[in-house]
Amino acid sequence: MSLPSAIFRNDERAHQLVFDRPAGIIVAHEAEDFLPALEIAQAAHDAGKWLAGYFSYEAGYLLEPKLVPLLPGGRRAPLVCLGIFDAPVEQAVVPSNAPATNGPIFDARAAWSAEDYAKRFARLHNHIRKGDCYQGNLTFPVHAQWSGDPLAAFDALTERQPVKYGALIALGDPVVLSRSPELFFEVDAEGMIETHPMKGTAPRGATKSEDKRLKAFLLNDEKNQAENRMIVDLLRNDISLISEVGTLEVPELFRIESYPTVHQMVSRVRAKLLPDLTIRQIFAALFPCGSITGAPKIRAMEILHGLEATPRDVYCGAIGWIAPGGTMRFSVAIRTISLFSSGEAVYNIGGGVVFDSTAEEEYQECLLKARYATGTPPISS
């Protein structure tokens, strides 16, 4: 199979949408090009086209006037990159029985050591103690090398970490591979929007009994529940800005989903969207996802801007598609790798910090999450 423009793969259903041969590619690298790019995307959508691609995390600075002056330089990925397509092809995915391999990603090194992380953690924790924010999602990059075929890398990641929202985006440099387990939002044909905030993590156990114990611990742990509830409340507030009064509900709270390396706590928020919303209006209300910023969102983003030395780029943005009828689905771009043509691979890791978090536990959780990329934790710098 040659490299298509975009793949969205649900490993649970063994199903994927494949987009190829774009009629055009909408790309904005600079701030002044971002809103015009959204207008072009809206025009293509109104003309009956499909859109597929990603929004980088830094696009969120341009959707909130208060944050525009903080837009960081040194970005390596576009702020937005969307292909324009006539339609995707739906395909069944034949499961592979081959053992998971490390694939073509190697020599992974975390940009922050435990000491580096602890210094920034202390500054964030001080903000939390003073009441500047209740939670902050502190992240840092891992730098690695890659070689070979991006599609082979995508398949290797699939074998190691099956998820519902896997994606490959090949619309230019970088090629983006995502093994995201987290739904940012989905809009169905009736205009119902649903989001699945994911906050709360525990490792898998070495034995069935240990695994069961760790899962039960996560389900009942007050710290993880508090983290999750904060983000549920944040997303309820975001969705309320674009939904009909009286339709907002939380049908499920604190469900545990299990993946090869971690258990995750997930909740659900649903509402009926207001009619005739534009792409810009939806993203201005929701983006970036609160689960990867913290609460309150804008203040958390301001604080994190001063703590994280480099742009997040595609990581913590949104990856997905928009159909002509108004249905759409975007994942949160976690467990996401940018493959640059230079041979460099970059993927970030992070986690939510709250009042009773500790630097050592949070740093180890970050390294645990990073195992999806190579099967082993990255070398600490």
Opening angle at CA 136, ends 135 and 138, nearest 5: 150
What are the C-alpha distances in Å from 17 to residues 81, 89, 214, 306? 18, 6, 35, 39
Confidence of residue 160 (pLDDT cuts 50, 70, 90): confident
- Could you report the per-residue pLDDT of 28-41, keeping only the tens digit for each? 999 999 999 999 99
329: left (phi over 0), alpha (psi -120 to 50) or beta: beta
Distance linking the first and last C-alpha atoms of the chain = 37
pLDDT (average), residues 84-108: 80
pLDDT (average), residues 344-359: 94
Task: Verify cis geometry, omega within 30 degrees of 0, for the bond prior to 288.
Answer: yes
pLDDT at 1: 57
**Active site annotation includes 222:** no
Q: Two tokens at 251?
A: 């049908």
- Could you report the per-residue pLDDT of 268-295, keeping only the tens digit for each? 999 999 999 999 999 999 999 999 999 9
pLDDT at 102: 52
DSSP 8-state class, residue 243: B
Q: Two tokens at 85?
A: 């397509």
**Active site annotation includes 32:** no
* Catalytic, out of 58, 182, 186, 227: 182
Rounded Cα gap, residues 323 and 140, in angstroms: 33
pLDDT (average), residues 104-120: 94
For the chain, give the mean pLDDT.
Answer: 93
pLDDT (average), residues 78-101: 85
Whether the pLDDT of residue 100 is over 70: the answer is no
Which of 35-49, 214-228, 313-327 shows the lowest per-residue confidence on average (mean pLDDT)? 214-228
* Catalytic, out of 199, 297, 308, 365: 199
pLDDT at 103: 63
- Could you report the per-residue pLDDT of 222-232, keeping only the tens digit for each? 989 998 998 99
What are the C-alpha distances in Å from 62 to residues 85, 185, 223? 26, 20, 33
Rounded Cα gap, residues 298 and 296, in angstroms: 6
Whether the pLDDT of residue 333 is over 80: the answer is yes
pLDDT at 83: 98
pLDDT at 96: 66
pLDDT at 97: 59
Whether the pLDDT of residue 376 is over 80: the answer is no
Predicted TM-score (pTM) of this structure: 0.94
pLDDT at 105: 84
pLDDT (average), residues 195-219: 93
Residue % of the chain over a pLDDT of 90? 83
Rounded Cα gap, residues 336 and 369, in angstroms: 11
pLDDT (average), residues 85-98: 85
Confidence of residue 262 (pLDDT cuts 50, 70, 90): confident
E strands along 67-171, which residues?
80-85, 89-92, 105-110, 135-146, 165-169
pLDDT (average), residues 2-17: 92
- Could you report the per-residue pLDDT of 294-311, keeping only the tens digit for each? 999 999 999 999 999 899
Whether the pLDDT of residue 158 is over 70: the answer is yes
* CB-CB contact of 280 with 36 (8 Å): no
- Could you report the per-residue pLDDT of 47-86, keeping only the tens digit for each? 999 999 999 999 999 999 999 999 999 999 999 999 999 9
CATH number belonging to domain 6-96+108-380: 3.60.120.10
Whether the pLDDT of residue 336 is over 60: the answer is yes
